[in-house]
């Protein structure tokens, strides 16, 4: 995958996810797993034996409780997740490669229509944008589980090599499979329904949404990026980067949205 990296001035370089590069990435991941098992990453202080690999090898430890780091994406209309380094930018279209129809739909969206106002999950990456609610990552053999305090939502990311099922029924969080590319945990997700919003401000998508997330631990910081691809919504894949702080003393609290939801229509 030709990742889309954000420059220091807040612009994005174009990248393309192709079937060829996906296969290449998968081959890299196999090598990465092998490398992990042989101790290539022994210099990493965050190793966790048997934590995320079915083979029982050592992979970096990204488990724990993590909280998104300011500047956060949510702070005003239409800036959302789109450019976390410069939340003053008012018009998302400057960085998000919307197709014209999708852009018009986004600009006319009413936040009151957000699925989350009916206690439905925000999807991916919406879950990762929660500004005041942490997530817990659990690494177990065969899967990595992400527990989001926001909406009391759980993600299952399968790491046992099962791949995506051929015939997927669309779901809010899609079907996620993960693998290690060196010391980076790479999560590929497909099988989304078209009901979730990518942010809180009305960024809809089609069932062709495909995301690739990368988790990389740097000490007490979890570096994260997500590449978003949806040929029916965007003219090209695009990527957002953000960080999360380790919160070892925190606990995941209860968030039962339906308990006292006054926003449901």
Partner 1 sequence: MKGRKLISFLIVSVSLLIWIPAFAHHGTATYDLQHEVTVEGTVKDFQWASPHIWLYVTGTNDKGEIEEWGGETGAPASLARRGWTSHLFKPGDKVKMSGHAAKDGTKVMMITKIQTADGKEY
| Residues forming the site for partner 1 (CB under 8 A) | 72, 74-77, 110-112, 114, 116-117, 119, 122, 129-133, 149-150, 200-201, 250, 252-257, 259-263
Q: Is 214 in contact with 222 (CB distance < 8 Å)?
A: no
Q: Which is nearer to partner 1, 133 or 192 (CB)?
A: 133
Output the smallest distance, CB 106 to partner 1, in A.
13
Q: How far is the CB of 72 from partner 1 (least distance, A)?
A: 6
**Least Å distance between CB 3 and partner 1?**
27
Decide: 263 and 27 in contact? Cβ < 8 Å. Answer: no
Q: DSSP string covering 122-145, please?
A: -HHHHGGG-SS--EEEEEETTEEE
Shortest Å, Cβ 243 to partner 1:
16
Beta bridge partners of 135: 66, 148
Of 40 and 119, nearer to partner 1 (C-beta) is: 119
Taking the least distance from each CB to partner 1, the nearer of 39 and 75 is 75
Identify the sign of the CA torsion 233, 235, 237, 238.
negative
Supply the minimum distance, in Å, between the C-beta of residue 1 and partner 1.
Answer: 29
CB 244 within 8 A of CB 250: no
Tokens linked to 46: 């965050």
243 beta partners: 223
- The residue among 208 and 263 lying less far from partner 1, judged by its C-beta, is 263
């Amino acid at each position: 995958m030709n990742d889309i990296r954000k420059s220091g001035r807040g612009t994005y370089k174009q990248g393309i996810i192709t079937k060829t590069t996906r296969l290449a990435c998968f081959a890299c991941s196999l090598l990465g797993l092998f490398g992990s098992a042989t101790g290539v990453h022994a210099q990493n202080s965050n190793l966790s034996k048997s934590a995320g690999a079915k083979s029982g090898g050592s992979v970096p430890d990204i488990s724990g409780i993590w909280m998104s780091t300011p500047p956060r994406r949510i702070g005003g209309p239409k800036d959302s997740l789109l450019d976390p380094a410069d939340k003053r930018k008012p018009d998302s279209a400057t960085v998000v490669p919307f197709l014209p129809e999708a852009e018009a739909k986004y600009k006319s969206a009413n936040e009151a229509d957000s699925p989350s106002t009916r206690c439905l999950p925000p999807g991916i990456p919406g879950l990762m944008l929660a500004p005041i609610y942490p997530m817990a990552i659990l690494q177990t053999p065969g899967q990595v589980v992400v527990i989001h305090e926001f909406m009391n939502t759980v993600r299952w990311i399968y790491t046992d090599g099962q791949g995506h099922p051929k015939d997927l029924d669309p779901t809010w969080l899609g079907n996620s499979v993960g693998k290690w590319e060196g010391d980076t945990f790479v999560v590929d997700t497909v099988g989304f329904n078209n009901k979730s919003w990518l942010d809180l401000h009305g960024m809809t998508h089609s069932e062709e949404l495909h995301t690739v997330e990368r988790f990389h631990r740097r000490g007490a910081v979890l570096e994260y990026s997500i590449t978003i691809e949806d040929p029916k919504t965007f003219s090209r894949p695009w990527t957002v980067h953000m960080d999360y702080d380790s919160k070892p003393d925190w606990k995941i609290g209860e968030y039962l949205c339906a308990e006292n939801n006054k926003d449901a229509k």
